[in-house]
């Protein structure tokens, strides 16, 4: 494991056992695994000479670096990784306009971004690594992405196979494994995760155990509008999304963080969701935000619930 010496307090034995279990599962070659491993394997010989993670579009390689045959392989592999949820990327000149305009979220995070230089960072629910590449621009020592879904895991592996960032890695872990990383991280990003957990305060408490004293947690969550410290709990789906539990107001999210033991809790941004930010594209051809919202009254979801806002918070683990 390339990072074991950087995490002296982590339970490396348990992490190693988990990695072996995942490796055995991947090696079984099941259809679901092969669907995404195959495009990864088809391009894993390719390396990019130039990358640029400083702008809105994560740029990996340029078209003149590849033979015609490899250009075709890259394009096909990128199409095989569809649907692309997070982006935008430009991969050897192939523009990938993902469902989410993730650069907008990153722009909102930037003014409150802690110094990442030389830091050990976790990105929980990292998806294809869009934000990890944006973090790489700030020169962290290590970013571990937690991502249990094979599609996103192999997409990241293909992208970083091209980019070759040795300080970025993604594991098939979930937030439920964060407790194995005792006092390990200077900064943790928890974006788009909390409302998918049935016990959000327990998750925050466990995350705090994985942070070094003085560490910083950056949270972004779906929420509902309102000033009171309330959380909405849908009967089944919320904006058509299954697996949604507590959807907090900003005040409620701040209370969760304080009750989980965080200090200096600050809600620093909140905005209504929109179909400008999450929409169907050539790289994500299924339903998107406009299909989740009541066409007659955009302040409601299709279920008649309050339409979502997004909330940004920063919190510190006390020294
Ligand atoms: C709503 S997306 C958020 C992605 C990204 N963090 C962002 O803010 O744009 C949730 C991500 O968490 C991943 N995920 C699903 N179950 C998870 C779990 N148990 N632990 C961590 N991440 C999980 C999903 O595959 C997906 O990539």
User: Domain for residue 80, yes or no?
Assistant: yes
CB distance 128 to ligand 1 below 6 Å? no
Give me the domain span that covers residue 117: 11-316
User: Domain for residue 6, yes or no?
Assistant: no
User: Domain for residue 127, yes or no?
Assistant: yes
Task: Compute mean pLDDT per 10 residues along the chain, 319 residues long, and list them.
Answer: 91 97 94 96 98 98 97 98 98 98 98 98 98 98 98 98 98 98 98 98 98 98 98 97 97 98 98 97 97 96 97 98
Q: The domain that contains 207 carries what CATH number? A: 3.40.50.150
User: Domain for residue 5, yes or no?
Assistant: no
Please report the pLDDT score of residue 137 as a whole number: 98
Q: Which atom of ligand 1 is nearest to the CA of 174?
A: 20
Contact (Cβ atoms closer than 8 angstroms) between residue 247 and residue 231:
yes
Please report the pLDDT score of residue 2 as a whole number: 79
User: Domain for residue 292, yes or no?
Assistant: yes
The DSSP bridge pattern shows strands 142-146 and 120-124 to be parallel
CB distance 147 to ligand 1 below 6 Å? yes
User: Domain for residue 4, yes or no?
Assistant: no
Contact (Cβ atoms closer than 8 angstroms) between residue 49 and residue 61:
yes
CB distance 146 to ligand 1 below 6 Å? yes
Taking the centre of ligand 1 as the mean of its atom positions, its distance from the CA of residue 172, in whole angstroms, is: 11
Please report the pLDDT score of residue 29 as a whole number: 84
Please report the pLDDT score of residue 171 as a whole number: 98
Please report the pLDDT score of residue 246 as a whole number: 98
* 249: nearest Cα among 218, 233, 267, 228: 228
User: Domain for residue 282, yes or no?
Assistant: yes
User: Domain for residue 2, yes or no?
Assistant: no
The 10 Å Cβ neighbour count of residue 28 is 8
- Give the total number of structural domains in the chain: 1
**Rounded CA separation 262/304 (Å):** 34
* 132: nearest Cα among 100, 87, 168: 168
Taking the centre of ligand 1 as the mean of its atom positions, its distance from the CA of residue 296, in whole angstroms, is: 30
């Amino acid at each position: 494991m390339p990072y074991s010496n950087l995490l002296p307090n982590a339970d490396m034995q348990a992490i190693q056992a988990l990695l072996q279990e995942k490796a055995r599962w991947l090696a079984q070659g099941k259809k679901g695994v092969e669907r995404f491993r195959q495009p990864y394997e088809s391009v894993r010989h390719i390396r990019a000479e130039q990358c640029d993670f400083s702008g809105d579009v994560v740029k990996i390689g340029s078209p003149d670096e590849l033979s015609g045959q490899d250009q075709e392989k890259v394009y096909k592999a990128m199409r095989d990784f569809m649907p692309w949820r997070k982006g935008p990327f430009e991969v050897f000149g192939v523009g990938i306009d993902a469902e989410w305009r993730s650069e907008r979220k990153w722009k909102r995070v930037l003014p409150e971004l802690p110094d990442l230089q030389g830091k050990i960072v976790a990105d929980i629910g990292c998806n294809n690594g869009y934000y990890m590449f944006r973090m790489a621009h700030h020169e962290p020592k290590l970013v571990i992405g937690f991502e249990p879904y094979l599609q996103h895991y192999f997409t990241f592996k293909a992208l970083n196979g091209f980019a070759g960032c040795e300080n970025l890695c993604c594991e098939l872990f979930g937030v439920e494994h964060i407790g194995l990383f005792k006092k390990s991280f200077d900064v943790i990003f928890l974006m788009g995760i909390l409302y998918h957990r049935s016990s959000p305060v327990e998750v925050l408490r466990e995350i705090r155990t994985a942070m070094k004293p003085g560490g910083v947690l950056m949270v972004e969550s779906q929420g509902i509008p309102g000033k009171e410290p309330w959380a909405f709990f849908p009967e089944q789906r919320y904006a058509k999304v299954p697996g949604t539990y507590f959807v907090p107001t900003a005040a409620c999210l701040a209370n969760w963080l304080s009750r989980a033991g965080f200090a200096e809790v600050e809600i620093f941004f909140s905005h209504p969701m929109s179909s400008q930010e999450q929409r169907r594209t050539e790289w994500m051809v299924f339903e998107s935000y406009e299909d989740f919202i009541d066409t007659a009254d955009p302040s409601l979801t299709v279920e008649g619930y309050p339409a979502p806002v997004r909330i940004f918070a920063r919190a510190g683990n006390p020294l």
